[in-house]
Homo-oligomer: A and B are copies of this chain.
């Protein structure tokens, strides 16, 4: 239930256990189906007692959400391909493929399996930052940029909606068409 609160103890044992538990979750969710993933098994793999996990994360849902948010965090800045248009295309393609994949969809689902709404917001913040980074580059190049909010509403949102709800397959042509709507006249 719990909080996954900011913990005043970040060093040594606490950090070691957190890393160990996260790794155990990643390993086990790759080995078995999500429905048979249980906290005692995770604890055993991580080399801790179950009560440690219960006290620190509260429930399986919170733990999975915590791990998913961590994995959803982009590791690098979006690729600089020379123009806002191509940057956006490259980023969108990667985003769409990662989120559409089996593990991507599982992570998104995990994010929602916790009552803590902060998790979903955090994911949203990640994509917003990435897009802002691309947008900021345009200023240094003096080219026509784009509005980040518009990209979120009309490129990111439709992609996520298809993944989560309609299940309709997408290709790069579809993504390009979405980008066209927020960057008109930049063929």
A contacts, CB < 8 Å to B: 1, 33-35, 59, 109, 112-113, 115, 117, 120-121, 123-124, 152-154, 156-158, 160-162, 164-167, 178, 181
> A167 to chain B: which residues have CB within 8 Å?
117, 120-121, 124
> A156 to chain B: which residues have CB within 8 Å?
161
> A158 to chain B: which residues have CB within 8 Å?
152-154, 157-158
A161 to B117, CA, bound (A): 13
A35 to B181, CA, bound (A): 42
Given known pairs A35-B1, A109-B112, A115-B35, the reply for A166 and B152 (CB within 8 Å) is: yes
A69 to B145, CA, bound (A): 41
A152 to B35, CA, bound (A): 31
CB distance from A64 to the nearest CB of B (A): 12
> A121 to chain B: which residues have CB within 8 Å?
165-167
